Amino acid sequence: MDFSQCLIDVTTCPKGTKLVDFFSELKAVPKIEEYSDDEIKIAVSISDFDSPFIKKISDAEMRLNAIVDFFSIAADEKFLGQILSWKNDHITNFVSSYLQMQADQDWRRYLNLERLCSQLQDELSRPINFLGDEVDADVKRKLAIEKNIDEIIEKLKKYESRLFPDRNMKRAIIINEMTKIISYPERYAQDRQVI
Interval 58-77 mean pLDDT: 92
Whether 1 is covered by a domain: the verdict is no
- State pLDDT tens for residues 117-149: 888 888 888 888 777 778 888 888 888 998 988
| 15 and 95 fall within a common domain | yes
Task: Give me the domain span that covers residue 173.
Answer: 103-181
Among 100, 124, 144, identify where a domain stops: 100
What is the reported pLDDT for 133? 76
| 94 and 113 fall within a common domain | no
| 176 and 110 fall within a common domain | yes
- State pLDDT tens for residues 86-114: 888 899 889 888 888 887 777 788 888 88
CA 112/CA 107 separation, integer angstroms: 9
pLDDT-derived band at 183 (thresholds 50, 70, 90) equals low
8 A C-beta contact, residue 78 and residue 27 = no
| 35 and 88 fall within a common domain | yes
By C-alpha distance, which of 78, 50, 91, 46 is closest to 64?
46
| 81 and 111 fall within a common domain | no
| 96 and 110 fall within a common domain | no
Count up the domains in the chain and report the number.
Answer: 2
